[in-house]
Structure 1
C-alpha cells in the first residue's frame, strides 16, 4: 500500500492510532476530533464517534449522497447512544459462533428451513 494513502482516524488523546500508522511509514493521516463532520466531497461527509467507555475505540458515521451509514463494530456505548435516528446501513459486531445458521444446519427440518448446501 502506498505510504501516502490517506487515513481518517480518531484523534485519541493517547495518539495510539496516529503513532502506529506513522511508525510503519504512513504520512497522510487526518486525525479528526470526535463529532467533527468533514466533507470529503460535495456528496460525502464523515465523522468519528467516541465509544462510551475508557478504551481507545470509536465508530464512523458516513453520509454518502444522503445515505447514512454507521460503523460501530465493537465500540461500547457509541457516542453515549446519541446516534442518527434513520440510518440506511448499520455495521456492527457479530458473534461468529452462530456463523452459517441456519444455512449449514442439518438437524432443523421445518417448512422454514433452508436447504443444506456444501459451500
Structure 2
C-alpha cells in the first residue's frame, strides 16, 4: 500500500465549487499506483454523463501526482460527427488508457512541471 499524508483531497472547479475527490474510485486507484478507467458516471458539477481516466505520476516509485481527465463521450461523438455508437468509442478509449502504465509518465517530471511548482500541483 502506498503511504500518503492526507485523508481528503479537494479541487476547485472552474465554477468556484469545491469538490472532494478522495472518495472517488479513480483517486483511490491512482494513489495506489494504478491507472483507472471509469464506466459512464455522472458529473458532480452538472450531471452530464462522462468517463474518468486517471494515471499516477511516479518519482522513484512513489506517487507524486495524479493526472486525470474526463471525457463527455456523447459530446465527443457529436463533435467528431461520428456514426459509430458511443459505446464503441468509449470501449476503444478504455482499451487505450488501460494499456498505459504509470511508468510511462515518469518522464513528466523531466519536463519540470512539478519541479517548477515546488512539488505542488496547481
Is the shorter-chain TM-score for this pair beyond 0.5, marking a shared fold? no
Q: TM-score range by the shorter chain?
A: 0.3 to 0.5
Pick the structure with more strand per residue: 1
Q: Give the TM-score of the pair, scaled to structure 2.
A: 0.32
Name the structure where helix makes up a greater proportion of residues. 2
- Which is bigger in relative contact order (C-alpha 8 A, separation at least 6)? 2
User: Normalising by structure 1, what TM-score?
Assistant: 0.32
